Structure formats: structure tokens, C-alpha cells
């Protein structure tokens, strides 16, 4: 019998003021600063794993997780927001 592991849930949404502590922690993990301006964040199973500023293109991500695909999705969503 094999045990199936559920895929993590991914939510992309605008950042809220209540995200500041999680964004600062994420920036520290990435040895960066929280980007300025409006941010999109990616949340996996309730934890922020990446953030993207569509206006500047700046991105921060958790270097201890596989976030390359998540960052691509954030950048794509940011590009769509800039063109609409």
C-alpha cells in the first residue's frame, strides 16, 4: 500500500498590513529588504513563502523551500496586473 502525500495549497493574494511580521521574516531569510509598494504574496499551507512587487519587479522568497515555480507565478500575476 502506498501513502499519497497531498500537494501543498498555494494562495496568491495582495499583501495586507497584518503580513508585515511575516514579510520581515521572509526578507531576513532571503538576506534582503521587504520591497516597497503594493505586494503580491504567495502563501503555502498558511505560511508566506514569497512576495513580489509588480511595480518594481523586486521579489523575496524563502531560500529553504522550493520556490522557483512560486516566484514565476507571482511574476506572471504581477505582469497581468500591470497590463490591466
Domains detected in the chain: 10-83 (3.40.630.30)
pTM of the predicted structure, to 2 decimals: 0.88
| DSSP secondary structure code for residue 26 in this structure | H
State the Cα–Cα distance between residues 1 and 45, nearest whole angstrom: 26
Which of 1-5, 8-12, 24-28, 30-34 has the least mean pLDDT? 1-5
Query: Which residue has cell 504567495?
Result: 42
- The three-point CA angle 72-74-76 to 5° equals 70
CA pair distance 33, 81, nearest whole angstrom = 23
Checking if the pLDDT of 34 tops 90, the result is: yes
pLDDT above 70 (res 1): no
Largest CA distance in the chain: 50
Grid cell, residue 21, equals 511580521
Amino acid at each position: 500500500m502506498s501513502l499519497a502525500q497531498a500537494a501543498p495549497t498555494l494562495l496568491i493574494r495582495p499583501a495586507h498590513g497584518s503580513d508585515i511580521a511575516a514579510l520581515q521574516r521572509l526578507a531576513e531569510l532571503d538576506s534582503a529588504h521587504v520591497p516597497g509598494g503594493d505586494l503580491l504574496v504567495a502563501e503555502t499551507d498558511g505560511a508566506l513563502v514569497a512576495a513580489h512587487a509588480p511595480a518594481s519587479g523586486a521579489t523575496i522568497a524563502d531560500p529553504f523551500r522550493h520556490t522557483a515555480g512560486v516566484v514565476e507565478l507571482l511574476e506572471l500575476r504581477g505582469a497581468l496586473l500591470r497590463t490591466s
